[in-house]
Structure 1
């Protein structure tokens, strides 16, 4: 480190230029020694000087090119570290050799991959509901923000009926089991392209791209029918049901308004006796 620190005055922000400068001086030492000897002897041998000068210049150019190529692993490693520092995903990781520069490149590449994996795991954990495995509110909103502008979609707010009664009578463990089983049924019913999340408590949000409210209602109705055919819950006499409100939107910028309207439709469903699906009454529905 002493020599490295001592030569920092040479191009302090450009390590490769520092190496080039040192190599340039080293390559020219034979030429300098020859010129010095000729001056000391008081004679000049052009037939020796010209080939020596040309060979020195050729060697200098070759050294500059070769050193630039040899420093490429360090340049790549530095670029990967900057990308990780900026929070960017590193996907193009070149393989290094068995020498010092190659080992540095491999080590930085492995560290970048491990960092990417850890960041992805932490981001996924931050956007997942631990109990149900569905997205949480944050994960839902982040994913919904990627909905293409102008894409028609239906937003559904689903609320399990009388869930508080289950917790009060049978305990929170039974309530958690109901939430887990209900989430499983949601996963069975909805399409892979649909975005399903636990919005909070016993309430779930579903974004259904490419469907109007009437089509989405038929899809949600399948879930309601399935719960009647294969009931869940701790009390066979009072199987779990749900209420649902549906609203229509085009693009992610309408999520907030669609949420409010779906919530009003959900309130209408609950006020109407629960175990039912209501459409947003304020929005003109597409054909």
Structure 2
């Protein structure tokens, strides 16, 4: 490190130019020595000087190209580190050789992949509900923000009926089992393109792109029918049911408003006796 630190005054921001400068001096040392000796004796042997000069220039050009190529692993390693620092995924990780530069490239590549994997795991953990495995509220909003502008979609808010009674009578462990089973049934019913999340407590949010409220109602009605045919819950006499509110939207910028309208429709379903699906009528003409 001493020599490296001592030569920092040579192109402090360009390591490859520092190496080139040192090599340039070393390559030209024989030529400079020859010129000095000719000056001392006062004679010029052009038949020696010209080939020596041309050979030196050719060697210099070859050294410039070779140094640039040999420093490629270091440049690649530096680029990967910048991508990791910027939070970008490192996709193309070239294999290095068995020399020092290759080992550096391999080490940086492995570190970059491990860092990206860990960041992805942490991001996924931060956006997942631990109990159900669905997205949480943050994960739902982050994913919903990627909905293409102007895309027609339906937002559904689903709330398990009388869930507090399950917790009070049978305990929170049974309540957790109901949440997990309900989340599983919900995921099985919805399409792969639909965004399903646990919004909070016993409430779930669903974003159904490319589908209007009436078609979305038919889709969620399948879940309601399935729960009647194959009920879940600790009490066979009182199978788990749910209430749902639906609202139409176009594009991610309308999600907040659609959430409010779906919430109103949900409470309308509860006031109407629960175990039902209600549509927000305010935007039905737009759907």
Over the residues paired in the alignment, what is the CA RMSD in angstroms? 0.8
* In structure 1, distance between residues paired with 2:286 and 2:149: 17
**Worse overlay, 10-19 or 92-101:** 92-101
Q: Name the structure 2 match of 1:190.
A: 190
- Map of 1:45 onto structure 2: 45
Q: Which structure 2 residues correspond to residues 163-202 of structure 1 after superposition, within 5 A?
A: 163-202=163-202
Equivalent residue number for residue 239 of structure 2: 239
Q: Tell whether the 8 Å contact from 1:248 to 1:285 is kept in structure 2 after alignment.
A: no
Give the match for residue 252 of structure 1. 252
Deviation of 1:209 (Å): 0.7
Secondary structure of the corresponding residue to residue 43 of structure 1: coil
Structure 2: runs of 5+ lacking an equivalent: none
1-structure distance, mates of 2:51, 2:189:
83
Structure 2 distance, partners of 1:285, 1:182, is 32
1:155 is matched with which residue?
155
- TM-score normalised per structure 1: 0.99
Matched length: 287
Q: Distance in 1 between matches of 2:83 and 2:219?
A: 44
Asked if structure 2 preserves the Cα contact closer than 8 Å seen for 1:213 and 1:285, the reply is no
Residue of structure 2 equivalent to 1:14: 14
**Shift, 1:286, TM fit:** 4.5
Poorly superposed stretches of 4+, deviation over 2 Å: 284-287
Note the alpha carbon deviations across 1:157-204, whole angstroms, 9 max, x for none: 000000000000000000000000000100110010000000000000
Q: Which residue of 2 aligns with 1:228?
A: 228
Q: Give the TM-score normalised by the residue count of structure 2.
A: 0.99
Partner of 2:207: 207
Rounded Cα–Cα distance in structure 1 between residues aligned with 2:285 and 2:168: 39
Aligned to 1:124: 124
Residue by residue over 1:225-271, the C-alpha shift from the partner in whole angstroms, topping out at 9 and shown as x without a partner, is 00000000001000000000000001000000000000000000000
Q: Name the structure 2 match of 1:104.
A: 104
- Structure 1: stretches of 5+ with no match in the other structure: none
